[in-house]
Amino acid sequence: MSGNFEQYPQSNVGIGEILFRYRDYTPIPLIVLLFIFCKPTALSATLGLLAIALGEVIRIYSVAFIGSISRTRKDHTGARLIKEGPFGYVRNPLYVGNFFIATGVAVFAGRPWLIVLSVLLFAVQYYFIVTYEEAILLDRFGEEYETYRQSVPAWIPSHPVEIDDIVSPPALRPALRSESQTLMAIGGMITLLLVFG
């Protein structure tokens, strides 16, 4: 990696790299708390499932544009900068999907303090992960990425997304195949929350 990393605090990039590589495991303590304290109600379960479904739809739609590279644990960016589809609205649509899934699971559990804790932990983890990824993207794509970063917000679209503006993905089947692990994990999590609740 070259000099573009100096735009980001080196310690933040280092923390982000660690969290990026182990992001499948960092939620485990929170999951344990969810199992111990979950008390789902009909309302919390319904709202939680709706948030989870929205998050997974966002993820599938995003993966349809970025491809299986979204599963990598290495600092590989792909051959080109993805700016189409959901990446034209926000720079981190996969993580927006993750946010709705994580928050939805906490809502499902029916404990407000778990929702607050989930949101706080998510914000901290993804602050560092996005710092790390943006340093890589800036290093790889330079001015193209800087222009993209200046014009597309990180998390919340700058204007409402109109149905007519939504671009059809190139193919959904590969995205569904790529997301099969996430879908199974969500199904297992919901089943366990029902059993423990």
Burial class (CB in 10 A: 0-12, 13-18, 19+), 22: exposed
For residue 3, what pLDDT is reported? Answer: 47
Share of the chain above pLDDT 90, in %: 64
Between CA 120 and CA 124 the distance in angstroms is 6
Residue ranges in the chain modelled with pLDDT below 70: 1-7, 68-78
pTM for the model stands at 0.88
26: phi then psi, degrees, rounded to nearest 5:
-60, -30
CATH number at residue 18: 1.20.120
Per the structure, the count of domains in the chain is: 1
Between CA 107 and CA 51 the distance in angstroms is 8
35-91 tens-digit pLDDT? 899 999 999 999 999 999 999 999 999 999 998 665 554 555 667 899 999 999 999
